[in-house]
Amino acid sequence: MKTSYFRGASAPDLVNDTIGRYFDRVVGRYPEREALVVRHQDIRWTWAEYGQRVDQLAAGLLALGIEPCERVGIWAPNCYEWCLAQFATAKIGAILVCINPAYRVFELEYALNKSGCKAVISAEKFKSSHYLEMLQRLAPELASCEPGCLRSAKLPALELVIRMGEEHTPGMLNFSDVCEMGGAKEQRRMDAIAETLKADDIINIQFTSGTTGNPKGASLTHFNILNNANLVADGMKLTQADRLCIPVPMYHCFGMVIGKLACVSHGATAVFPADAFEPAAVLETVEQERCTALHGVPTMFIAELEHPDFDRFDLSTLRTGIMAGAPCPVEVMRNVITKMHMSEILIAYGQTECSPVNHMTLADDPLEKRVETVGRAGPHLEVKIIDEEGAIVPVGEKGDICTRGYAVMKGYWNDPQRTAETVDADGWLHSGDLGIMDDEGYVSVVGRLKDMIIRGGENIYPREIEEFLFTHPKIQDAKVVGISDVKYGEEVCVWVQLKDQQVLSEDEIRAFCKEHIAYFKVPRYIRIVDDFPMTVTGKVQKFKMREQTEKELGLA
């Protein structure tokens, strides 16, 4: 009987180096080639220019007193400042903390304090998010402190707020000024630090929502993400001649690792069409920049294909890219291959805790493998599928997808208990996703052990929203489930019990959520109920909540 275990290829060799040193070698190899295009900011840099600007920011951070292993938060939509921050912090050994640009005050406070950020680099605002105002609400001391000398009651570790843009704000430094603060002394220090950094050092904290309570900070090393980026780029057959259009967010591993860093790994050009996803901007960028590769979640590709002016764009330069974040409908994949000319598009699957990709299809895989599976384990990774007792199940049976190898995170930041719940003593990362492996090692994701909702590629954990709603003075209890949705795959639905004698409308609950949590977590469907369906032992039956709601909405 064949069991559900697969070991990826043993070649090519893994890269045992830091991101900063690797980046410098690429700059030296391709100085005059185009490295970075950020269209909405009119940025177009060669590798030599990119490297110079990264060094300027790195030197400025050193001049401000940022030391190796200290945490620097980045809170912004896609922009060139984000790109510089990623590589500048890597060069001085500071740990970049990715803060979701959709976060509100409630989540921001937790992320900054959990990671102990000494500095945060922030955009001024984006859409309905006024970042600087939220920081001022959390740290009113900014109004009277000297820039770089913050002492905040609510954010005790935070000393420096670096704002993007040209306006000046009390208590904050300007990004452009920080880039001018370093000199020869800091350059020498940067070179000295580079000699002390190790590939296994933590370089990035990515917050991922928890199944219970607050988000967890997955701690990723140079070795984790540089190798993941390099091997994914190998799968796409990237070269220095390729131009990758990246509409996915930089704060997530998709944009940061298998987008930007994958380009660095092979000297390809990273092209950002806008500060956030806009289908027209993507199509226009692919045509005008002659992009050869394009990333996205299925809903992005659907929006591009359905754009009313789709047929007028010349996408014939496209060849490859990554589709990830949610299952891809067969017809969508066919249209991406034929109408968008992406004959070598790949499906990728993984978790933030796995840097992020552990499974990927290959360009020559049959179409059915590219739509019915997430591919096989990547090089230097092992995958097994286990039952509730931890035994590997036979091929064709479902169980928990587990991964071991170079890509597995070092742990959750300052959270050994939750780390032990996710990565076992033998180094296996337990995904909580239910999968089935075939006799060739291809895996299909068929469900989730965890109570997770995937809305348009965003992972949402009900318990996090439930615990937030508990903070409302009129709410007694709340239970969150995912509801089927044609556009996003799933939408958030909450059943709410109010305290005795309290009155609260659906609109008031929604407004409360919009004020404090990311937009994609705000429930689309809200039901105010007297009780929840329960088992005889008192456990809430969420599947009945889901079935009843979908029936009432005509989605059953």
CATH number of the CATH domain containing 182? 3.40.50.980
User: Does residue 125 fall inside a structural domain?
Assistant: yes
> In whole angstroms, how far apart are CA 323 and each of 150, 328, 371?
42, 8, 10
Q: Is residue 287 domain-shared with residue 187, that is, in the same domain? A: no
Q: Is residue 421 domain-shared with residue 460, that is, in the same domain? A: no
Q: What is the pLDDT of residues 150-204, one digit of tens each?
A: 999 999 999 999 999 999 999 999 999 999 999 999 999 999 999 999 999 999 9
- Contacts of 397 by beta carbon, 8 Å cutoff, 6+ apart: 4, 385, 387, 436
Q: Is residue 417 domain-shared with residue 546, that is, in the same domain? A: no
What pLDDT, on a 0 to 100 scale, did the predictor assign at position 538?
61
Q: Is residue 418 domain-shared with residue 467, that is, in the same domain? A: no
Which of 448, 465, 497 is at the close of a domain?
448
Q: Is residue 481 domain-shared with residue 543, that is, in the same domain? A: yes
Confidence of residue 326 (pLDDT cuts 50, 70, 90): confident
Q: Is residue 416 domain-shared with residue 333, that is, in the same domain? A: yes
Q: Is residue 433 domain-shared with residue 336, that is, in the same domain? A: yes
Write the DSSP string, 62-99: HHTT--TT-EEEEE-SS-HHHHHHHHHHHHHTPEEEE-
User: Does residue 205 fall inside a structural domain?
Assistant: no
What is the average per-residue pLDDT within 322-351? 90
Q: What is the pLDDT of residues 350-384, one digit of tens each?
A: 999 999 999 999 988 988 898 889 999 999 999 99
Please check whether residue 134 is in contact with residue 109, taking contact to mean a CB–CB distance below 8 angstroms: no
Q: What is the CATH number of the domain that holds 349?
A: 3.40.50.12780
User: Does residue 366 fall inside a structural domain?
Assistant: yes
What pLDDT, on a 0 to 100 scale, did the predictor assign at position 197?
98
Please check whether residue 234 is in contact with residue 15, taking contact to mean a CB–CB distance below 8 angstroms: no
Q: Which of 223, 261, 224 is nearest to 244 (CA)?
A: 261
Q: Which range, of 238-247, 281-290, 353-362, 536-545, averages the lowest pLDDT?
A: 536-545
Q: Is residue 406 domain-shared with residue 267, that is, in the same domain? A: yes
Domain tally, the chain: 3
Q: Which two tokens stand for residue 320?
A: 């490859």
Q: Is residue 434 domain-shared with residue 471, that is, in the same domain? A: no
What is the average per-residue pLDDT within 107-127? 96
> Residue 423: how many CB atoms within 10 A of its CB?
21
> Residue 537: how many CB atoms within 10 A of its CB?
5
Q: What is the pLDDT of residues 394-425, one digit of tens each?
A: 999 989 999 999 999 999 999 999 999 999 99
Write the DSSP string, 271-339: EE-SSS--HHHHHHHHHHHT-SEE-B-HHHHHHHHT-TTGGGS--TT--EEEE-SSPPPHHHHHHHHHH
Confidence of residue 447 (pLDDT cuts 50, 70, 90): confident
Which of 406, 427, 448 is at the close of a domain?
448
Q: How far is CA 45 from the centre of its chain?
A: 25
User: Does residue 435 fall inside a structural domain?
Assistant: yes
Backbone angles phi, psi at 238, to 5 degrees: -70, 145
409: alpha, beta or left? (left if phi > 0; alpha if psi -120 to 50): beta
Per the prediction, the chain carries an average pLDDT of 94
Please check whether residue 12 is in contact with residue 234, taking contact to mean a CB–CB distance below 8 angstroms: yes
What pLDDT, on a 0 to 100 scale, did the predictor assign at position 212?
47
Please check whether residue 288 is in contact with residue 281, taking contact to mean a CB–CB distance below 8 angstroms: no
Q: Which helix (H) or strand (E) holds 513?
A: helix 506-516
Please check whether residue 509 is in contact with residue 496, taking contact to mean a CB–CB distance below 8 angstroms: yes
Confidence of residue 535 (pLDDT cuts 50, 70, 90): low
> Domain of 371?
5-13+216-448
User: Does residue 423 fall inside a structural domain?
Assistant: yes
Q: Which two tokens stand for residue 118?
A: 């000494």
Q: Which of 508, 482, 511, 503 is nearest to 494 (CA)?
A: 482
Beta strands at 243-245 and 269-272: parallel, antiparallel or unpaired: parallel
User: Does residue 102 fall inside a structural domain?
Assistant: yes
Q: Is residue 191 domain-shared with residue 281, that is, in the same domain? A: no
User: Does residue 207 fall inside a structural domain?
Assistant: no
Residue 506, pLDDT > 80, answer yes
Distance in angstroms (rounded) separating the CA atoms of residues 530 and 538: 15
Which of 404, 433, 448 is at the close of a domain?
448
Q: Is residue 324 domain-shared with residue 430, that is, in the same domain? A: yes
Please check whether residue 438 is in contact with residue 376, taking contact to mean a CB–CB distance below 8 angstroms: no
User: Does residue 206 fall inside a structural domain?
Assistant: no
Question: In terms of pTM, does the model score above 0.85?
Answer: yes
Confidence of residue 99 (pLDDT cuts 50, 70, 90): very high
**DSSP character at residue 357:** E
**Which residues of 420-468 form beta strands (DSSP E)?**
429-437, 443-448, 453-455, 458-460
Q: Is residue 92 domain-shared with residue 172, that is, in the same domain? A: yes
